[in-house]
Structure 1
Amino acid sequence: MTTGFSFQLLKSCCTTQARVGVFTTPHGLVETPRFMPVGTLANVKTLTPDQLRATGAQMVLANTYHLHLQPGEEIVAGAGGLHRFMAWDGPILTDSGGFQVFSLSEMRQISEDGVTFRSPRDGQMIHLTPERSIAIQNALGADVIMAFDECPPYPATRESVANATDRTYRWLKRCITAHQRDDQALFGIVQGGVYSDLRQEAAEQLVALDLPGYAIGGVSVGEPAELIEKIVQATAPVLPPEKPRYLMGVGTYRELVQAIAAGVDLFDCVIPTRLARHGNALVQGARWNLRNSRFRDDFTPLDDTCSCYACGHFSRAYLSHLLRAQELLGYTLLSIHNITELIRFTQAIRQAVLNDRFDADFGHWLRS
């Protein structure tokens, strides 16, 4: 039984499954639909907590696998948990570490008990089980924690995907048993690869367990964009409307609109900070490389419709200069802008649903 959590559905779209809600956690509210920045090692790269708050971020992510390797969950727990450790007083979600472990395909072995892998940090052999993943996340102290799952690659045979999906369900039940804190909401993860029937069956199994929330996992692992859309459309409607729905690891404009139209509430992706480190800015649906010569003497704001610190104080020419000179401030300013942009985008979708204008304002993302 979890305490301090609720999801209130405020409005649904009349032409799609898009919806507006409020997810309440012990550390505050999350207005959905909402993009969540990723802070892998208890920090959204290059940003202070104050800078992150100024982007409009309400909930952030941290990574169980990476925090287990460095500094270790004991250190985080000793600091009073993730919220105190990283000086973030808003909601936090930790993933299970499953995706990171399974991406180490040449360094790990999977069994029914769990996964044994060689740490890329120091070569140490580590055995991660559903119980161990939950214990680490209990120690980290995030508001929302994720069940340990097996994420099948793409492409993969139907048989191997079915086996991974079945194991994910068995591991979920072990996670539920191992979970020790009622101030943390444990979300289950729907797997099933690109097979709609496996996805629907897995979603139905998870719904029967009456969890506080549900995630759609195993997307953005190499499959074409049209298959991601198909997966989400097949899965989201099966999940209970009174619980939050979270699509893991997507963050392009089109993916966000498509998923929101299918009824998804929460999203995360490393795209805004990763693009910033490569000199790319997200501007009103487009992606700009600020190292291009056309920006060298452009003294206008990056985006005069954006209220972020970068757009309010600096020109495109200055940002271009910082990036060409590899000055760290350039990466910080672009990260501030890119995160603000994706949060603004989901906020605008939220308002459009409230105003019965989702199709009019964002339908072109679905049709183009």
Structure 2
Amino acid sequence: MKKPFFDFQIDSRCKSTLARACSIKTPNGIVNTPRFMPVGTLGTVKGVTSNQLEKTGAEMILANTFHLHLQPGERIVQDAGGLHEFMNWKKPILTDSGGFQVFSLAKLNKIDDAGVSFQSPRDGKQIFLTPEKAIEIQMALGSDIAMAFDHCPPYPASESEVEEACKRTHHWLERCLNAHNKDDQAVFGIVQGGCFPNLRKISAKIVSGFDLPGIAIGGVSVGEPISQVHKIVRETCPLLPEDRPRYLMGIGTLREMAVAVANGVDLFDCVIPTRLGRHGSALVNGDTFNLRNTRFKDDYKPLDSSCPCEACTGYTRAYIHHLIRNKELLGLTLLSLHNLTHLIRFTGAMRQAILEGCFSEDFAPWQSDSKARHTW
């Protein structure tokens, strides 16, 4: 399914692993992978302006179809000129379809083959989301990449339950593609299958058969052990087309991203950096610092002396500790900026290592030891 405004190329490969450095061309710019995507669920990465976000090195962000449909509504966004104009973000945007809310709002929804009936978490009203409606909303939002509507099963779930979710996901993908008619927007399919290798294999084959511009690995980070995430990635990536981007949904920790990149994954997203920031914590070279702790009250070093973010180049740990202890909003913004920069720098360093031919050597510790250290 060729798209005139969408292109993908592999710039370099690691000789010892399946890692690759790639370029994804979209209507609103190029995304250089591996790359972490900040999550801006409601058209905003929480507590961060678009200008600040650009300085973190972000090249593509993620927004959520379901939540933007609830507020402000896709027609408001469309009349503003699309999501890029509405939120003043000039670079690429990927929109999730609302499929994850099938999992996260399980107590508020009812699923059948036609679609999902939701009880709005805002006002309790009933909402019926179908594959066609999910695509209609995403076309109105004007994202560069739209995700197909899928059924994301929880963990644990029986093999028969996961198989049913897979069949529904594949049927919904076909309906999404039949409803989609926007040339400057790519649609990515999603491979499901839970922790069952046979179902992952079937799903990968079916989704790959649609000849899509890109494919995501879904149904991870839903409660399963992290060893299962590694297993799913190792077993699923070789089943996906090499000439398309691969997106691992909902993952944003250093070790897991390194393992995934070594197995051929290109894109990641996760709420971790801003969520930790809002709770007063900073990611520093594999550790998590709680800036509320009194040990930081007279620590006049930057969070990370190697980090180019505004928090690290302009402020000390003691000052940010002071902000956090006094519930000043600036502290939460600074920590969020740092955490976003931290993850984007990590994926950028992996890309550079692939280009320079040293990925396997430099990032092997991150693939085997959760306490690994690396001066990247």
Same fold (TM over 0.5): yes
Which residue does 1:32 correspond to in 2?
A: 33
TM-score normalised according to structure 1 size: 0.99
Which residue does 1:18 correspond to in 2?
A: 19
Which residue does 2:243 correspond to in 1?
A: 242
| Structure 2 gaps, min length 5 | 370-376
Give, in whole Å, the separation in 1 of the partners of 2:113 and 2:301. 58
1:132-171 correspondence to structure 2 within 5 Å: 132-171=133-172
Give, in whole Å, the separation in 2 of the partners of 1:10 and 1:187. 21
Which residue does 1:75 correspond to in 2?
A: 76
Which residue does 2:229 correspond to in 1?
A: 228
- The DSSP-based 3-state class of the residue aligned with 1:106 is helix
Which residue does 1:360 correspond to in 2?
A: 361
The number of residue pairs the alignment matches comes to 368
Which residue does 1:267 correspond to in 2?
A: 268
- Asked if structure 2 preserves the Cα contact closer than 8 Å seen for 1:251 and 1:267, the reply is yes
Give, in whole Å, the separation in 2 of the partners of 1:45 and 1:367. 32
Q: Which amino acid aligns with 1:20?
A: A
- The DSSP-based 3-state class of the residue aligned with 1:320 is helix
Give, in whole Å, the separation in 2 of the partners of 1:44 and 1:367. 31
Indicate the RMSD between aligned Cα atoms, in angstroms.
0.8
TM-score normalised according to structure 2 size: 0.97
Give, in whole Å, the separation in 2 of the partners of 1:367 and 1:310. 30
Is 1:277 matched with 2:278? yes
Is 1:47 matched with 2:48? yes
Which residue does 2:253 correspond to in 1?
A: 252
- The DSSP-based 3-state class of the residue aligned with 2:243 is coil
- The DSSP-based 3-state class of the residue aligned with 2:190 is strand
- Asked if structure 1 preserves the Cα contact closer than 8 Å seen for 2:256 and 2:367, the reply is no
- The DSSP-based 3-state class of the residue aligned with 2:172 is helix
Which residue does 1:338 correspond to in 2?
A: 339
1:101 CA displacement: 3.1
Q: Which amino acid aligns with 1:103?
A: S
Which residue does 2:189 correspond to in 1?
A: 188
- Asked if structure 1 preserves the Cα contact closer than 8 Å seen for 2:102 and 2:151, the reply is no
Q: Which amino acid aligns with 2:246?
A: R
- Asked if structure 1 preserves the Cα contact closer than 8 Å seen for 2:201 and 2:236, the reply is yes
1:359 CA displacement: 1.8
Q: Which amino acid aligns with 2:285?
A: Q
Larger CA deviation: 327-336 vs 94-103: 94-103
CA displacement 1:38-60 (0-9 Å, x = unmatched): 00100000011000000000000
Q: Which amino acid aligns with 2:116?
A: V
Which residue does 2:211 correspond to in 1?
A: 210
Give, in whole Å, the separation in 2 of the partners of 1:164 and 1:140. 27
Give, in whole Å, the separation in 2 of the partners of 1:294 and 1:106. 42
- The DSSP-based 3-state class of the residue aligned with 1:215 is strand
1:114 CA displacement: 0.3
- Asked if structure 1 preserves the Cα contact closer than 8 Å seen for 2:102 and 2:152, the reply is no
Give, in whole Å, the separation in 1 of the partners of 2:272 and 2:300. 26
1:301 CA displacement: 0.9
Moved over 6 A (4+): none
Give, in whole Å, the separation in 1 of the partners of 2:360 and 2:177. 39
Which residue does 2:292 correspond to in 1?
A: 291
1:15 CA displacement: 1.2
Q: Which amino acid aligns with 2:338?
A: H
Give, in whole Å, the separation in 1 of the partners of 2:300 and 2:123. 47
1:365 CA displacement: 1.5
- Asked if structure 2 preserves the Cα contact closer than 8 Å seen for 1:82 and 1:141, the reply is yes
CA displacement 1:267-294 (0-9 Å, x = unmatched): 0000000000111101112111111111
CA displacement 1:200-225 (0-9 Å, x = unmatched): 11111111110010000010000000
Give, in whole Å, the separation in 1 of the partners of 2:105 and 2:49. 30
- Asked if structure 2 preserves the Cα contact closer than 8 Å seen for 1:95 and 1:146, the reply is yes
CA displacement 1:251-280 (0-9 Å, x = unmatched): 001111011011000000000000001111
CA displacement 1:2-55 (0-9 Å, x = unmatched): 221111101111111111010000000000000000001000000110000000
Identical columns (%): 60
Is 1:115 matched with 2:85? no
